[in-house]
């Protein structure tokens, strides 16, 4: 008789061992890849950082003031000459509290709480944009916007964003929040060739920034997002008024929560939609 042939079944522990070895191998490869990517990223960021200007040096700030031509009395301004547009840099003390509050409320409500970047804002914008199916909300802080406007080009690339974040951290390291807000308000464009809040106040309201009212402050803050779109001389005046009202509402919320310095004597009648300049 032919002896029966017996087949040995693979042992269960052998299968488990093989599966475990495969998992360890894949994990090790992934770890090495992540480590290499991390090293390459650090080298790349260091290379980018090396090419950036130092915000601590006053000469790095691109805030060229206009050359002003007055009449013979020296009192009436005839012309302002500047290839980059009109700009007059003013000290922090000459910027009204209203204007500071309005800007913080609409552009970066957590400005005095977070550092150079707003982690909560990034996640919030990420989910809002997913829900709305497009980029409808940004997460750039006032410091990031300052870095972009002062040192970088407006192109939208990952490299430029990395530069913006690096510069923002440097700026936060060298300057306190009030100094950063002052630099921002003297730097940002308000449209119509007006750069900085002094030029913005002169352009739209014919007065110095120190004299602008609550509604005028809110209007200037509303224009900043897209100056060409929200121009009071354009075809989107209703949208400007609506955004101005949004600024006022955000100001009130922050002041009620004690998150913005200063107190506004609040009068609901001042929210009237039929007036931009109050």
- What local confidence, expressed as pLDDT, does residue 159 receive? 86
Q: Are residues 148 and 216 in the same domain?
A: yes
Within a domain: 229: yes
Residue 75 lies in a domain: no
Q: What is the pLDDT of residues 159-202, one digit of tens each?
A: 888 899 999 999 999 999 999 999 999 999 999 899 999 999 99
Best CA proximity match to 213, nearest among 97, 75, 104: 97
Q: In this structure, are 175 and 43 located in the same domain?
A: no
**Structural domains counted in the chain:** 2
**Which of these three, 5, 32, 52, is where a domain ends?**
52
Output the 3-class SS for 171-188. HHHHCCHHHHHHHHHHHC
Beta carbons of 245 and 213 less than 8 angstroms apart: no
Q: Note whether 130 and 28 are same-domain residues.
A: no
In a domain, 204, yes or no: yes
Residues 150 and 209 in one domain: yes
Residue at 277 is within a domain: no
Report the pLDDT value the prediction gives residue 120, as an integer from 0 to 100.
83
- Residue pair 197/102 in contact (Cβ under 8 Å)? The answer is no
Same domain (yes/no): 104, 186: yes
Q: Are 33 and 130 part of one and the same domain?
A: no
pTM over 0.85: no
The residue range of the domain holding 244 is 89-271
Residue 206 has pLDDT above 80, yes or no: yes
């Amino acid at each position: 008789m032919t002896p029966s042939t017996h087949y040995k079944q693979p042992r269960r522990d052998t299968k488990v061992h093989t599966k475990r070895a495969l998992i360890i191998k894949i994990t090790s490869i992934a770890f090495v890849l992540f480590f290499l990517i991390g090293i390459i990223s650090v080298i790349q960021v260091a290379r980018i950082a090396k090419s950036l200007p130092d915000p601590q040096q006053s000469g790095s700030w691109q805030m060229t003031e206009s050359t002003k031509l007055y009449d013979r009395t020296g009192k009436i301004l005839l012309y302002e000459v500047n290839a980059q547009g009109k700009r007059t840099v003013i000290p922090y003390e000459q910027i009204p509290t209203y204007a500071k509050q309005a800007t913080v409320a609409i552009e970066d409500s957590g400005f005095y709480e977070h550092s150079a970047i707003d982690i909560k804002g990034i996640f919030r914008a990420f989910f809002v944009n997913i829900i709305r199916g497009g980029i409808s909300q940004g997460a750039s802080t006032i410091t990031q916007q300052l870095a972009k406007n002062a040192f970088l080009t407006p192109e939208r690339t990952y490299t430029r964003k990395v530069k913006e974040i690096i510069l923002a951290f440097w700026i936060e390291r060298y300057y306190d929040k009030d100094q950063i807000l002052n630099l921002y308000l003297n730097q940002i464009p308000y449209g119509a060739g007006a750069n900085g809040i002094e030029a913005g106040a002169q352009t739209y309201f014919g007065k110095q920034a120190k004299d602008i009212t609550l509604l005028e402050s809110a209007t200037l803050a509303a224009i900043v997002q897209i100056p060409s779109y929200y121009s009071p001389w354009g075809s989107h005046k209703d949208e400007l008024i609506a955004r101005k009202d949004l600024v006022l509402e955000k100001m009130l919320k922050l002041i009620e929560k004690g998150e913005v310095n200063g107190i506004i004597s609040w009068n609901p009648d001042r929210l009237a939609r039929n007036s931009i300049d109050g």
